[in-house]
Amino acid sequence: MRPPLSRRLAGFGTTIFTEMTRLAQEHGAINLAQGFPDFDGPDHVKDAGIAAIRAGHGQYARMTGIPALNAEISAKYSRGYGLEFDPDREVTVTSGCTEAIFATLNGICDVGDEVVVFQPFYDSYRASIFMAGATPRVVNLRWPDFQFDPAALTAAFGPRTRAILLNSPHNPTGKVFRRDELELIARLCVAFDVLCISDEVYEHLVFEGEHIPIATLPGMAERTITLSSLGKTWSLTGWKIGWAVAPAPLSAAVRTAHQFITFATATPLQWGAVAALRSEPSYYQTLIHDYRERRDYLCEALTRLGFSLRPPEGTYFVCAGIERLAHVRADAEEPASDITFCRELTRRGVAVIPPSVFYEDARLGRDYVRFAFCKRMETLRAAVERLERVLG
Ligand code: GLN
């Protein structure tokens, strides 16, 4: 019998997020692995979703999103970044940003196309590129400062390059791409006539510097598909509401794929999203204030415990070097030292993510681990207490 799994997906196994959350449950560990808040989203958003269910919004939404949500998404980009998108033709609501990435890649790529992507990368990127029939060309963000070599980026572009898949603020590194870095990317995109898929789901979680949507750079508005979602900003990762905004021809390509992937996204939750996007400015200020407190607390504690780190500029992840913590590793076998470290730490009560799974060459990610700090302060305090006991 032929193996059940397709060749495109051979080697992908089970995603690390599922694996670590399962392992955390098995060992009763505090889950600082999978990035989901252990607190609830805001009441005004939940109430709007509940009201929509009660009001009978129970049938398929418009394939491209309910008109009220498309209008709010369009207004958000105009207000926040001076980017104009026609709500009906240039905004597409998807089932989370992960679907938006998949729909975009499938909408724009032909077999044999190449997609440039920085590594470490969020794991669905590589799988989605392969499922779209394309091939990834990776460029390294070097541990520990997560800078990239401009020459390596330039060398990754060529006649087969269809797109670059960019993520800023960046998961898992916490890097916020600077204007000069984005300008180089933009110049290459224009020179090679390449599209940019820009995953900006952490756009409101920036502690240092500023979030610059690459679509605002010269020459980029017409070639960028900007993606974002409700999950991170409104602490509702389980709602799976995302979107893609792009000029009409690119939006049409995204929609051609989206209509056959999920067709439409949960109607009542789209009504909840309308309320989310109407949040007062104070909502975002409180969000970043609370996340800064969590970031500073965890970074200070991890440094004290012997991890080496730079506090992340954005996102709710911190990458922490484990070179001084060799005694925790179950064995020192190459090349999986971050994996053995994470398994051992989970057994001892705190689950974290081994970043080597976010690289094509796993050896590049073995020197550090990723902590998620989208957790209540009391959860973080309990995790630090456990770490003090097992590492101290
Ligand atoms: N984006 C989140 C993370 O990086 C969770 C992803 C997932 O569970 N698939 O941890």
Q: Which of 16, 31, 34, 317 to mutate to test the pocket of ligand 1 (most atoms within 8 A of CB)?
A: 34
Residue with tokens 């309990």: 382
Of 165, 171, 119, nearest in space to 142 by CA: 119
DSSP SS3 for 37 = coil
Tell which one of 171, 316, 369 to mutate to probe ligand 1, the residue whose CB is within 8 A of the most ligand atoms.
171
Alpha-carbon distance 297 to 292, whole Å? 8
pLDDT digits (tens, 9 = 90+) for 177-235: 999 999 999 999 999 999 999 999 999 999 999 999 999 999 999 999 999 999 999 99
Instruction: Supply the DSSP string of 279-302, one letter for each residue.
Output: --HHHHHHHHHHHHHHHHHHHHHH
Centroid of ligand 1 to alpha carbon of 122 (angstroms): 8
Q: What is the mean pLDDT of the chain?
A: 96
What tens digit of pLDDT does each residue of 42-86 get? 999 999 999 999 999 999 999 999 999 999 999 999 999 999 999
Dump the DSSP string for 296-356. HHHHHHHHHTT-B----SBSSEEEEE-GGGGGGSS---SS-HHHHHHHHHHHTTEE-B-GG
Task: Give the chain's domains with CATH numbers.
Answer: 16-40+282-391 (3.90.1150.10), 56-279 (3.40.640.10)
Which residue out of 101, 237, 357 has the highest number of ligand 1 atoms within 8 Å of its CB and is therefore the one to mutate?
A: 237
Confidence (pLDDT) at 330: 61
Phi, psi of 206 (to 5 degrees): -125, 125
Closest C-alpha residue for ligand 1 atom 5: 35
Omega prior to 172 cis, within 30 of 0: yes
**Is the distance from the beta carbon of residue 120 to the nearest atom of ligand 1 less than 6 Å?**
no
* Cβ neighbours, 10 Å, residue 193: 10
Using one digit for the tens of pLDDT, what is the confidence trace for 283-308? 999 999 999 999 999 999 999 999 99
The pLDDT score that the predictor gives to residue 326 is 74
Supply 353's token pair: 């993510």
CA of 219 to the centre of ligand 1 (A): 32
Q: From the CB of 35, is ligand 1 less than 6 Å away?
A: yes
Q: If you take atom 9 of ligand 1, which residue's CA is the nearest one?
A: 17
The DSSP secondary-structure symbol of 98 reads H
Q: What is the pLDDT of residue 335?
A: 45
pLDDT > 90? residue 331: no
pTM above 0.95, yes or no: yes
Nearest CA to ligand 1 atom 10: 35
**Closest atom, ligand 1, to C-alpha of 122:** 4
Residues in the chain: 392
**Tokens 């009542």 belong to which residue?**
268
Distance from Cα 261 to the centre of ligand 1, integer Å: 20
